[in-house]
Amino acid sequence: MPHLVRSTLWLGFFGLILLSWWWLYQMAMAMDLDLIGRPGEMGQRMAAMDPRMDMYMPMAEFGPLFWMWAVMMAAMMLPTLVPTLTNYEALMVSADGTRAGWLGVLFGYFIVWVLFAAVIAGAQLALLFGGVIDMLGIPKWPLVGAALMIVVGLFQFSRTKEVCHGVCHSPMSYFLGHWKTGFAGGLRMGLGLGAFCVGCCWGFMALGFVGGVMSLLWMGLATLFMVIEKLPQIGQYVTKPMGFILILAGIAWALIGGEIWL
């Protein structure tokens, strides 16, 4: 029976991830976007819309935008939680952990990222109505995207990134120092781990504004990198190189994109 419960929970976990990716794909198709978030004819009309016009536009309203980001958080961030959940399982016998606690960690982690979805949805609306991005979340000036890449690249070298990545990269240490039993205990630990995870990975979410927040290619690459960054064996070796790549890409974007813009 314990094996059946374990298998059911893990299947449900991965099923939620697959469902989230399917939903995002369907939404991208409905908005007439290709793999890299480039709009077709219908998408171009949507991107050109003025959000201040008196008409119903889901991407200019907080509710639909929030749910889009919440599903995006599930699709992109839940895969990065696998090492954390397996670490919790390793402590289930020796530290009196339970499946209820396992679920608590999962829910706590997801709650934090849903709250972050609300924050970034609000930021997108502010940028949209401020005329910085279009309806699809694409900057209207190349230098905006370039600046964002450079800022996120520099963040990879910061003390905040180092501390937050240390917790995400080694969840076992966090569990040993903050261990609580039962669902409530797991929820509390999940909230803490989720907060560190947001501190570690917020920049990669924000990079969606470089090429469009509905770019499936960006979402896939960002998810892959964040999973690699949290792997125990190699995670610590990819953080700073990615910072260099982002800084160089931002400078190149500023030079080439700025020249095209002028």
What pLDDT score does 97 carry?
Answer: 79
Structure tokens at 250: 């931002």
Distance in angstroms (rounded) separating the CA atoms of residues 205 and 80: 14
3-state secondary structure of 199: helix
Distance (Å, rounded) from C-alpha 259 to C-alpha 28? 30
* Measured torsion, CA atoms of residues 221, 253, 36, 58, in degrees rounded to the nearest 10: 100
Note the pLDDT of residue 84: 92
In what helix (H) or strand (E) does residue 73 lie, and over which residues does it extend?
helix 62-77
Which three-class secondary structure state does DSSP give residue 33?
strand
Strand partners, 39: 33
In this predicted structure, what is the pLDDT of residue 49? 55
Q: What is the largest CA-CA distance in the chain?
A: 66
For 51, the token pair is 């959000």
Q: Would you say the C-alpha torsion 115, 196, 98, 11 has a positive or negative sign?
A: positive
Full pLDDT tens readout for the chain, 262 residues: 567 888 899 999 999 999 999 998 888 777 665 555 555 555 555 555 555 544 345 667 888 889 999 999 999 999 999 999 999 988 887 778 788 999 999 999 999 999 999 999 999 999 888 888 877 778 888 888 899 999 999 999 999 999 999 998 889 889 989 998 899 999 999 999 999 999 999 999 998 888 677 778 888 888 998 988 888 778 788 899 999 999 999 998 888 764 444 3
pLDDT at 73: 92
| Extended beta strands in 81-227, E state | none
For 55, the token pair is 């008409």
Phi, psi dihedral angles at 186 (to 5 degrees): -65, -40
Beta strands in 181-261 (DSSP E): none
Helix, strand, coil percent values for the chain (each to nearest 5): 75, 0, 20
